[in-house]
Amino acid sequence: MTSPASATQAAPPLPAARGPLSEAVLAALRTGPARPLVAAVPPDPWGEDAQLALYLLYELHYRGFAGVPDDLEWDPELLRVRARLESRMLAALRDALTDAPGTVDGAFAPLLEEPAGPGDGLSGYLETDGALWQLREYAALRSLYHLKEADPHLWVVPRLTGRAKAAMAAIEYDEFGAGRAERVHARLFADLMADLGLDPAYGRYLECAPAPALATVNLMSLFGLHRALRGALVGHFARVEITSSPGSRRLAAAMRRCGAGPAAEHFYAEHVEADAVHEQVVRHGVVAGLLETEPALEADVAFGCAATGLLEDRLAGHLRTRWTAGRSALRRPLDGTT
């Protein structure tokens, strides 16, 4: 098993395909893309093939993959395919959110209230009813983001000005450990994984992650890589920070109840206090600062918030449906699950 200290160093191996498009993308990454890359974009933007293909293309902008040349990051043919997938995903999101609030107040107000009772929401379920094997699956899935935590949001900093830029940089500084490598949140999550008996190697559990989990990570990359979607990325970031503190408190309790280990509990306990502060900074500094200079982006901020909630709810629904039936929620179960 990879040590937590070196977990985020090496590029991961390429995964297996999940359909014709991801197979074509994988072939292009191994040998260089044909002109043109021959594969139809799947009709279902949320399916395994489409979401894996998009994840593969986005990952070129992060660590890449073992054996894949770095210059494929900006290959025109791969970017063309990525643009088609992005267009389909954005259209599906907008179609699904036609009745979502179009203002920041409307989007954020429901998030400021705690769930009605124990067991509400995925973190509430894990707090009261989750088993250790379910916490391990949850951590394996979340590792696709948490081992690069804050990276997608950093892309928005050059696109902000004044108060919004300063506030965003302050939050990101905390996310990256405030100058201390051992406090970087990605490193803390690697420590959590080690406590749970999971391999903290970057991208290790990509093969296990179903499409709903890939979609939550792809959404951050989609918003982060497009300047035109800077408002949506701020909305995404705000929702994450607003909901993180109470959710982290419940997950810390779940780790403690299941005996997951001190590092596993610490990752979430750290976020209870830090993200309570970040919530105020993001709302009054980042969001308010952005809309002060670019008020026309309010609908985009609200859209980013709503899109995040939609995809997180879909993932939560997938996990709870499988778990309450006593089944693994992963494509490839971890050892010890059914």
> pLDDT value at position 338?
43
Whether 3 shows a pLDDT value over 60: the answer reads: no
Residues 122 and 170 in one domain: yes
Q: Write down which residue in 69, 96, 123 finishes a domain.
A: 96
> pLDDT value at position 9?
64
Residues 22 and 126 in one domain: no
Residues 188 and 303 in one domain: yes
Whether 165 shows a pLDDT value over 50: the answer reads: yes
Residues 183 and 319 in one domain: yes
Is residue 76 in some structural domain?
yes
> pLDDT value at position 46?
97
Residues 72 and 175 in one domain: no
Range(s) of the domain holding residue 79: 4-96
Residues 210 and 123 in one domain: yes
Report whether the peptide linkage leading into residue 152 is cis, meaning its omega lies within 30 degrees of zero.
no
Is residue 330 in some structural domain?
no
- Count of structural domains, the chain: 2
Residues 172 and 316 in one domain: yes
Closest CA to 130 of 269, 267, 254, 299: 254
Whether 12 shows a pLDDT value over 60: the answer reads: yes
Is residue 257 in some structural domain?
yes
In this structure, what token pair is assigned to residue 328?
A: 């693994």
Mean pLDDT computed over every residue of the chain: 91
Residues 129 and 190 in one domain: yes
Q: Write down which residue in 49, 75, 96 finishes a domain.
A: 96
Classify each residue of 182-220 as buried b or exposed e, where b means 16 or more C-beta atoms within 10 Å of its C-beta. eebbbbbbbbbbbbbebebbbbbbbebbbbbbbbbbbbb
Residues 263 and 169 in one domain: yes
For residue range 178-207, what is the model confidence (pLDDT) as tens digits? 999 999 999 999 999 999 999 999 999 999
For residue range 83-122, what is the model confidence (pLDDT) as tens digits? 999 999 999 999 999 999 999 999 999 887 755 444 458 9
Residues 51 and 110 in one domain: no
Residues 68, 60: Cα–Cα separation, whole Å: 9
Residues 130 and 85 in one domain: no
Global pTM value: 0.94
Domain at 183, CATH number: 1.20.910.10
Whether 225 shows a pLDDT value over 50: the answer reads: yes
Is residue 227 in some structural domain?
yes
Q: 21 near 50, Cβ under 8 Å?
A: yes
Residues 170 and 267 in one domain: yes
